[in-house]
Amino acid sequence: MSLGLGLGIDKSGKSAWLPSDESTLEAWYKNGTGITVDVGVSQWVDSSKNSYTMGQSTDAEQPAYSAGGTLHFDESASQSLVSSTAIGGVRGLEEEFVIGFKIDPDEHNTVVLGHTSTQSEMIKLLNASTIRIKPSTSNVDFTMESGHDVKDDSSWIIVRKNNDEVSVYKDMDGILVQQDDTKACAGDFVLDTIGRRAGETPNYFDGTIKEIVIFKDVADADSDALRDNLYARLKNL
C-alpha cells in the first residue's frame, strides 16, 4: 500500500522551517555547510548541537565536493565519513526516530548509513527494488512501489514510531510516496558512518549525497508533521 503526500505547506509570512527548529534534532549534515575540503571532504560538521561530526583522515578515502553542497562518493576508492561517537549515544536511536536524506546513487547494493564495527547496523539500497533497514539483528526489507528504483535521484524519509513500526517514504515527481507496508523493526539503531557498513563487504556508497538529517525520540503525534516539513526541505535541495 502506498501513500502519496503532495505537500503544499503555506509558509507565507513565516520563516522557512529548519531541522534546528525541532528539539528532537539529533544530527544534521547540512547541505553546503560545515564542509572542510582537503584532497576531498575531510570533515562534515554536524549542524545540530550534538557534535556528531563526520570525518575522514585518509586522503584517497575522502569524497569529492562540488558547488551546491554535493558530496560525491566513489566505492572503488572506499570513500566514507565516520563520527567518533555513535549518533544518539552508546545505544544509538533506541526508540522513535525520523531519518531523512537526499541522495543520487550510481549503484545498487550500497550503504547510505552504517556502523564502523557492527555490520548489522545499516540502511542499505539492496537492489533495484529493495531498501533494507537493519537495526541490530532485525532485517527488514521494503519493496519499492511500481515506477520507483532505489537509484533514483530522490529524497528519502524513514520513520519509526513507538510501537517499533517503521515506514519508508521516497520522493517521486514531487510527491512523497510510502514504499511497501509499515513493518515491525525493533532494536537499538547504532549509526556512526556515512557511506559504508562494517565487515568484509562494506558495500561502500557510490553516488552523491546532499544532506542527512536525524531526529531522535520523536513523539508519534509529531512525526507526521516533522516528516512533511523535512520532505519540503529535502526535495528543494
Task: Specify the pLDDT at position 15.
Answer: 81
Candidates 32, 47, 190, 52; CA nearest to 102 is 32
| Distance of alpha carbon 86 from alpha carbon 149, whole angstroms | 29
Nine-digit cell string for 128:
533495484
pLDDT at residue number 232: 97
CB atoms near residue 56 (< 10 Å): 22
Cell numbers describing residue 135: 537495526
| Torsion 206-64-86-117 (CA) sign | positive
Establish if 12 belongs to a structural domain.
no
Q: What are the per-10-residue average pLDDT scores of the chain (237 residues)?
A: 50 79 98 97 98 98 95 98 96 96 97 94 98 90 97 97 96 95 96 97 98 97 97 96
Structural domain contains residue 124: yes
Spatial separation of the C-alpha atoms in residues 2 and 176, rounded to whole Å: 10
Residue 135 maps to which CATH number? 2.60.120.200
- Closest-CA residue to 113 (of 34, 26, 178, 17): 26
Give the domain extent around 222: 23-234
| Residue pair 70/208 in contact by the 8 Å Cβ criterion | yes
* Total domains, the chain: 1
Task: Name which of 130, 110, 135, 127 is nearest 201 in CA terms.
Answer: 110
pLDDT at 3: 53
Asked whether residue 3 is assigned to any structural domain, the reply reads no
With respect to residue 145, please indicate whether it lies within any of the assigned structural domains: yes
**The model's pTM:** 0.94
d(CA 48, CA 131): 27
**What is the reported pLDDT for 70?**
97
Residue pair 41/81 in contact by the 8 Å Cβ criterion? yes
Task: Count CB atoms within 10 A of the CB of residue 39.
Answer: 12
Other Cβ atoms closer than 10 A to 200: 5
Domain membership of residue 13 (yes or no) is no
Specify if 216 maps to a domain. yes
Residue 6 within a domain: no
Residue 93 belongs to some domain of the structure: yes
